[in-house]
Copies of this chain bind each other. A is one copy, B any other.
Amino acid sequence: MTLQIETPAVLVDLDIVRRNIRAFQAYADKHGLRVRPHIKTHKLPQMAELQLEAGAIGITCQKVTEAEAMVDGSDRIKDVLITYNVLGAEKLARLERLNERVVLSVVADNTTIIDGLSAHFAQASKPLAVLVECNTGADRCGVATPAGAADLARRIAGAPGLRFGGLMTYPPVDGAARVQSFMNEAKRLIEADGLEVATITSGGTPSMMHAADAPVATEYRPGTYIYNDRSLVARDVASWENCALTVLATVVSVPAMNRAVIDAGSKVLTSDLLGLTGYGHVLGRDDIRIDQLSEEHGRLVSDEAIDLVVGQQVRIVPNHACVVTNMVDAVHILEGGTPKEKWTVAARGRVL
């Protein structure tokens, strides 16, 4: 079926979106976990509203300007966690303005960040909630030990303008046991200091259906689950039918029997591999590999005849949905398989 949409284009199937949101919310409700979706996947206030309607208690953003775009785009977004070490005068000023509009919290994994936040918010009209980021094995940010987490919790609690909000981690895949042991111990140490650990928040779509294996956590932050992608299908946690985001492309050249070229390259699909081979999955064509991308061309190859003609449309499930969202100014929303409208990706490109 040919869609009357100029290509390349990013399509989002709203029926699948709703199903994906419901599936995790049901799991979380059953296990008494609060849901705070990460909006990096969709960057759309409208999608955040669907998540909130389904039962989410707020949203997660990665950057201050991303949070601004979301709050500007929906007055139903009232609770925002920015899972980032924020520093720098301009970002702190933005943070303060945001803190006056919504229930806001950020994270910190070192004293420089905490001291910077405190120096700014000591003068603010409202204190800022700060959670301690903990490294439970992903080895990105985060304090290395529960004792380190307790040290920072004390420092936050004693810092003018700040209040201690709890503990946050972004664990590796299948990291629930480590989350449980780290957070249990950190919580014990912090409570021994007389502080309350209001929130313990974990995240990550690949392991979300095992979130309850770390019962110490009170909250979960799935991101990609709303759209799913080829990386999640490869991990057997989603199927093609659950992939809400696809890239619509047109064949522009069939220069050899087993090769075709489409009008979508790395400027739409991105070069994210996430451990996979090739740059996406052509729906309905298991034989095709997208083996090479340049900015505006994608190369499709097959061991057999490629059997595509110039002008034909293909739909691709990208390796990584979140990064594709960031490549386009707007996405096409489908309902009942039909394009209904275009939504501007409000928080696209917000890196500050």
Q: Which residues of A contact B (CB under 8 A)?
A: 6-8, 40, 62-63, 84-85, 87-88, 90-91, 109-110, 112-113, 116, 135, 139-144, 250, 252-256, 259, 261, 263-264, 266-268, 270-273, 292, 294-297, 299, 309-311, 322-323, 326-329, 349, 351-352
Distance from A109 Cβ to chain B, minimum over Cβ atoms (Å): 5
Residue in contact with A88 in the complex, picked from B250, B299, B323, B351, CB distance below 8 Å: B250
**In the assembly, what is the distance between CA of A352 and CA of B5, in Å?**
11
Residues of B within 8 A of A273 (CB): 271
Measured CB to CB, the nearest residue on chain B to A94 is B6
**In the assembly, what is the distance between CA of A62 and CA of B263, in Å?**
10
Residues of B within 8 A of A264 (CB): 351
**In the assembly, what is the distance between CA of A252 and CA of B109, in Å?**
9
Interface of A is mostly: loop
Distance from A350 Cβ to chain B, minimum over Cβ atoms (Å): 9
| Copies of this protein, total | 2
**In the assembly, what is the distance between CA of A254 and CA of B140, in Å?**
9
Are A322 and B310 in contact, with the CB atoms below 8 A? no
Are B141 and A109 in contact, with the CB atoms below 8 A? no
Residue in contact with A141 in the complex, picked from B40, B91, B253, B352, CB distance below 8 Å: B253
Residue in contact with A271 in the complex, picked from B8, B62, B271, B310, CB distance below 8 Å: B271
**In the assembly, what is the distance between CA of A261 and CA of B112, in Å?**
14
Are B140 and A292 in contact, with the CB atoms below 8 A? yes
Are B349 and A297 in contact, with the CB atoms below 8 A? no
Residues of B within 8 A of A267 (CB): 323, 326, 349, 351
Are A141 and B351 in contact, with the CB atoms below 8 A? no
A selection of 8 A-B contacts at a CB cut-off of 8 Å is A6-B88, A85-B253, A85-B310, A87-B252, A264-B351, A267-B349, A271-B323, A295-B326
Residues of B within 8 A of A261 (CB): 140-141
Decide yes or no: A328 and B351 within 8 Å by CB, A87-B250, A255-B135, A295-B322 being known contacts.
yes
Are B349 and A62 in contact, with the CB atoms below 8 A? no
Measured CB to CB, the nearest residue on chain B to A38 is B295
Measured CB to CB, the nearest residue on chain B to A264 is B351
Are A297 and B141 in contact, with the CB atoms below 8 A? yes
